[in-house]
Structure 1
Amino acid sequence: MSTARTENPTSIMGLNKPNGQFRGPLKPVGLTSGSLATAPQPDTHQKGGNIPQSSGGIRFGDDWKKCLQLPQKDCRFRTSDVTSTKGNEFEDYCLKRELLMGIFEMGWEKPSPVQEESIPIALSGRDILARAKNGTGKSGAYLIPLLERIDLKKDHIQVHVVIATPGRILDLIKKGVAKVDKVQMMVMDEADKLLSQDFVVLIEDIISFLAKGRQILLYSATFPISVQKFMAKHLSKPYEINLMDELTLKGITQYYAYVTERQKVHCLNTLFSRLQINQSIIFCNSTQRVELLAKKITQLGYSCFYIHAKMMQEYRNRVFHDFRNGLCRNLVCTDLFTRGIDIQAVNVVINFDFPKNAETYLHRIGRSGRFGHLGLAINLITSEDRFNLKSIEDQLVTDIKPIPGSIDKGLYVAEKPNQS
């Protein structure tokens, strides 16, 4: 369970503290083996493994699917959030051969409901307002048409794909570093956050630099009134997709444990000893509590990482990469980690500190039960949290039940992927 060394680590109990990677004696958490159950890894021994992953090595008339390097088939149970489709195939959308190969080699077998609804409309050039649950394939719903519409022969930004804050993107545009006057497509994932009061003015400023008639795609699990105002101003007859018959994911079972503040760590220790955890994400409401709890978990003998916004970006990247690769079972974090994080092996989310609002709660528990798989959300509730608990239940029209003495593993532990 060793990781790459970091520069100038501070030693605490033999652990690396500043990079978020606390490590203690690894204590199995309800697992029968010492290894973590991570997402399926590509099988490099399948037929055609030596053939390049592009259509350049495939001749007309060849059965190109035989040349794919496919990952192991994922046979875990999936809920209707991702299985209730119309029966479409990715090949139905007349996509580029290279793109189709990449889709299948990622292990994506068929479009999810939001992908079925979104891909053909996005390819047509029409604006989209799509509302779908976390973990149901929203990223693929816009990335596939985005990649299909890029013309590799044109040497300019066509879709401005950037990892940055809106303010930083606007700064690059105004300095002439990012030339976006020919951009024909703008995608906003987590649109509710990007179009909040904190960012909407910046977003509108960015749009003013884009080409006229540009296409705008909005995707989110929640759409407040601010999004409706933006849509009326900037979108042209958008195609609306709403797959939110209910807000919480069907595969996530939710419980609460009524405790005092002093009982929280003991309760967490009990959960670790009784649950069959593949990987867990544990949320706190402040950066200070994140570090204190991560240290306490390590002292209890469990492997633990932590991550929060005050850490250097280099360390945050390292922690996220190592956690996603299964090098640690538990991650303690703030709400920095509630959006856009897809780690298939996470089957348990624990709210060590209960959130203040329904939106944050929804995004937190959505870190488990990804793409229709099963997950468990456990909330540690103090007397001060009981009103928030009731309010969130009402707003999300969901039922958070008292935690039973024994939790059925069938609610959150799925069968392992087929190894054949």
Structure 2
Amino acid sequence: MSESFERLGLSKATLGALRRVRFTQPTPIQSQAIPPALSGKDIIGCAATGTGKTAAYVLPLVERFHSKSGTLGLVLAPTRELIQQIAEPVQVFAEARGLTHAVVIGGEDMGAQVEALKAQPTFVLATPGRLVDLLENGMVDFSKLEALVLDEADRMLDMGFFPQLERIFEALPRRRQTLLFSATLGPDVTEFARERLYRPVRVEVTRSGTPAERAEQRLYIVKAEEKSSLLLTLLAEDSTTALVFTKTKERADKVMRILQRAGHKSAVLHADRTQNQRRQAMEGFRKGTYRCLVATDIAARGLDVEDVGQVINYDLPHSPEDYVHRIGRTARAQASGVASTFAIPKDKEVVAQIERVMRGQIPRVPVPREDPVFQEAWAQFLASQKNPGPAQQESEAPKREQRRPEGRHARTHRKR
């Protein structure tokens, strides 16, 4: 274990959790944010998704809450996808200390969320719209809350969530720690922070990342329902190992089942896997027992494999920086490989963000719809639609949470 995390003041229990997920060295945002956050100070952090900022606030809050009860931490983020992404490291690090969490997002069963909140989870991870719905119905108790995290604050303001944030602030204790993270610190975010944070420590890190030079990149524009057929087609082109990335744990499990049914020996890595299951999957992939390893970004942290033949982005990553990290796994040491990315038409803006970070365009490649493997897989998919069953291929991830209407309210609520 690197001494770097130890110097940040984290406990042996948290250092052990870091070891288990192979976090060996803190990122710049973690090094700068964790010590003041541990001491209870407010923070303004300028950092994009993919820089390690989730662990930068989760780790110190877990340390502060581990011996306490009640709902102590609230994390707000603009989209359900981001909340689901945040939930993985929260689960990894909080559960190791006996802490719990609940996810509160639109598009999911509100009744189940109400029941989860009744259990007083340590952390509530929420999108503003759904949380306000629950607040209006008296379903949330924040009387013991000690810390509020605003993740991607600039996006929340851009998306018109200011009225919902005002309502949420009214329901929180005035004396609390507030950690605000934003990819940009424009006038709106700066004014918002000035009115609601108390003597904050300012932390800034720059976006970074250039693509691995030896990775041959390919971008396929596909329909959502074609992804599995394309995946099987690419795997049929050669016999090299493949690391397949998905957005969520659920998607990873589904893709692994598709691969196994097609005869590809596969394993899966995500936050719901036990340490023994993780070890077996990684060792099996390194030794060739498994040809394919399906993983989420957080689970693949620390995965040290030198000769991955293909990296396949079944889903686009949550951030451009994650794309750079993913494709770098197929060009380590002296190896070279292929990095294939599946994008559906509505992913256009995400692709543009990735290309801006890389300062170059990803080569577009035609989808091989005439390939016999593709046609056979596609025919099986069509048949499964007529007779739905366990072999049915999944479609694209859940739809984004509906944006709330924008509104303007006077910014009168102060923290202290």
- After TM superposition, the score normalised by the length of structure 2 is 0.49
Which structure's residues are more often helix, by fraction? 2
Greater relative contact order (CA < 8 Å, ≥ 6 in sequence): 1
- After TM superposition, the score normalised by the length of structure 1 is 0.49
